[in-house]
Structure 1
């Protein structure tokens, strides 16, 4: 992936703007409230971090509002769409490290953080992994993403990036370390096994179980129960026939 001088300049200017704003807020907080010796430093660090994350989220909201990511295949150059996609990635990695990469946010609260980043997430969703390009991701109610799982709405090959929406239905379970690639739709109550890699463009039906690398259908929820019930029914019929 080619990184241009414009990318570097935009990254530096964005970081300087966020740092300057956060320092001004921290200075104002210092003048507004002075705590006993030893507590003031922790107070100012906390204010600085909150201000830094807040201004970053505000910049990200502005980028999503005026230059939203669109699905498709793009050549990474100096056009607006490429610059915005790379700048968004820079913000996620460099500015929002505590929210995304450090696992400091509890699993049951990460859905709130990703909503602030543009993801459409339903109620009761548990996220133990990472969601990249949140604005291209939808997750239905009560779904669960296992530890270190990754939902990435992009793939990069050479100097080309492919962006595709990821749609996860209700009550879906995605196992730990599983990887979901762009343009994947997962139906309600489906299961993706731990460590599976669901390749681009896959459609997983409701209640299906997928696993492997690349992932393929390995079962349907309730299938074993139905097979076991039929076997028990046959055994019962054979026993009754033997008694006669």
Structure 2
């Protein structure tokens, strides 16, 4: 059987290069802007007084804000350069050249990792990506297509294949994917979360799942591929199954 390590190592190398490019280029742009605008304090940072320490603190905070804006802008621009993979089934047999939609998905995955796990000083990426005006661009161009706002960033592995409605609550460490893998096959299929849905912490939602309005998914559940959760239904378990139908007033986190 062919060894798949070479292909995975190549993908890992590409991931590292993309993330290094985003991190370093955002730093170069921000530092250059600071220099051209004369924003660096003139005092020696190693010999600070209270006044100069306060000035350095404010300027470094401004540096962090600008850096994070530039970082998110890089994510958007790079995403525009990658073709959006179509839904479908693609063969990924060892030893065969991977289909281009799978290759594009790997590049999108690298950008997604750069968003979900940003290095210092990109500790405000969550905030920048979810607040206007950048959230409008991220929602439309990067994904997921969401009409909700989240206090913690959910793990959306295929943002171009995930749609989230209004007033959706995603618990801590919830993971949403727009794909699933079978033997020698990867399937890309859209995942849809409708309005007023509550998803508990550590829930895993795989490709092709459709959660309808007002449904509740209990913490730690796993929704298998192509599962359809009806309106105001409570599902829980591994794999998740329907426990009962909720009244409209009961559609809150269990």
Distance 1:78 1:154, change over 3 A: same
Q: Which protein is bigger by CA-based radius of gyration?
A: 1
Distance 1:78 1:30, change over 3 A: farther
Conserved 8 A contact 2:72-2:125: no
Higher helix fraction: Structure 1 or Structure 2? 1
Structure 1 residue aligned with 2:172, among 139, 147, 150? Answer: 147
Aligned-residue RMSD, C-alpha: 3.4
Q: Residue 126 of structure 2 aligns to a residue in which SS?
A: coil
Structure 2 residue aligned with 1:211, among 228, 236, 240? Answer: 236
Distance 1:167 1:45, change over 3 A: closer
Conserved 8 A contact 2:145-2:164: yes
Conserved 8 A contact 1:127-1:145: no
> Aligned-pair distance for 1:135?
1.1
Q: Deviations over 1:28-73 (max 9, x none)?
A: 322222332342555545544432331122111332xxx1122222
> Aligned-pair distance for 1:214?
0.5
Gaps of 5+ in 1: 226-244
Structure 1 residue aligned with 2:161, among 112, 119, 136? Answer: 136
Q: Residue 188 of structure 1 aligns to a residue in which SS?
A: coil
Distance 1:182 1:8, change over 3 A: closer
Structure 1 residue aligned with 2:208, among 172, 183, 191? Answer: 183
Q: Deviations over 1:147-166 (max 9, x none)?
A: 11111112234653221111
2:48 aligned with 1:23, yes or no? Answer: no
Task: Name the residue aligned to 2:52.
Answer: none
> TM-score, normalization: structure 2?
0.71
Conserved 8 A contact 1:126-1:142: no
Task: Name the residue aligned to 1:84.
Answer: 104
Task: Name the residue aligned to 1:34.
Answer: 39
Q: Residue 105 of structure 1 aligns to a residue in which SS?
A: helix
How many pairs are equivalent?
218
Structure 2 residue aligned with 1:53, among 65, 72, 82? Answer: 72
Conserved 8 A contact 1:22-1:49: no
> TM-score, normalization: structure 1?
0.73
Q: Residue 216 of structure 1 aligns to a residue in which SS?
A: strand
Conserved 8 A contact 1:4-1:78: no
Conserved 8 A contact 1:148-1:178: yes
Task: Name the residue aligned to 2:87.
Answer: 71
Gaps of 5+ in 2: 46-55
> Aligned-pair distance for 1:193?
0.9
Task: Name the residue aligned to 1:117.
Answer: 142
Q: Residue 147 of structure 1 aligns to a residue in which SS?
A: coil
